[in-house]
Amino acid sequence: MRIIGGVRPQNFDVGYRPDGLRFAFDSKTLNDTKSVGKNWQNMVNDLATEATTVHSRFPHAIVAFMVIIPYPCFSSTVGSAIIETLERLARRSGVDGPPYMAESIALTIWKPEDGSISPDIPSPASPLRLERFSEQIEAAYVPRYKGLPPHAL
């Protein structure tokens, strides 16, 4: 879905806009070791720019990202920097929060040999766990849009 935001037009994987943009989701992948080492900082810049694009024009909108990386490509050296940076970017809790932050980011490290998701990267306590993704979106969405069409009782 193409969203005309405050910075530039941006394509998102999913958008929900019953009366203006309410939700935007985009996924990002880094698929090999060289790509992770070389491109993760560019990906972070893209996430911040995409969030700013949405929030500067639609401050009530929920912005969510999923970053997906194969386990063999995720080194502990670069991995800790990625986790720390994404945790800082995934803290927008209110409409007055910084526009470059997202309401939710999931970092999914998967194992190509069986398709399973790493149980310990990021750590079980991290807000980036896939298991917390939809809960965080709901926690931001409900207070902003509860009672408004199409959710009115």
Model confidence over 106-119: pLDDT tens digits? Answer: 999 999 999 999 99
User: Does any domain span residue 69?
Assistant: yes
The answer to whether position 150 is within a domain reads: no
- Give residue 36's pLDDT: 93
Q: Is residue 71 part of a domain?
A: yes
Whether 153 has a pLDDT exceeding 80, the answer reads: no
Write the pLDDT tens digit of every residue in 69-104.
999 999 878 999 999 999 999 999 999 999 999 999
In a domain, 153, yes or no: no
Kindly report the backbone phi and psi dihedral angles of residue 119, in degrees, each rounded to the nearest multiple of 5, phi listed first: -80, -10
CATH, residue 92:
3.30.750
Is there a domain that residue 80 lies in? yes
In the chain, how long is the greatest CA-to-CA distance?
51
Q: Flag whether 152 is in a domain.
A: no
Which residues form the domain of 80?
2-145
> Across residues 120-137, what is the average pLDDT?
97
Q: Is 11 helix (H, G, I), strand (E, B) or coil?
A: strand
Q: How far apart are the first and last CA of the chain?
A: 29
Contact 73, 32 (CB under 8 A): yes
Q: Which residues pair with 107 in a beta bridge?
A: 67
Is residue 105 within 8 A of residue 65, CB to CB? The reply is yes
**Cis bond upstream, residue 59 (ω within 30):** no
On whether residue 151 sits in a domain, the answer given is no
Question: pLDDT digits over 4-29, tens only?
Answer: 988 889 999 999 999 899 999 999 99
Residue 8 lies in a domain: yes
How many folded domains does the chain comprise? 1
For position 5, what pLDDT does the model report? 85
Structure confidence by residue, pLDDT tens digits, 32-66: 999 999 999 999 999 999 999 999 999 999 999 99
pLDDT at 77: 83
Q: Does this model's pTM top 0.85?
A: yes
20: alpha, beta or left? (left if phi > 0; alpha if psi -120 to 50): left
142 class by beta-carbon count within 10 Å (0-12 exposed, 13-18 middle, 19+ buried): exposed
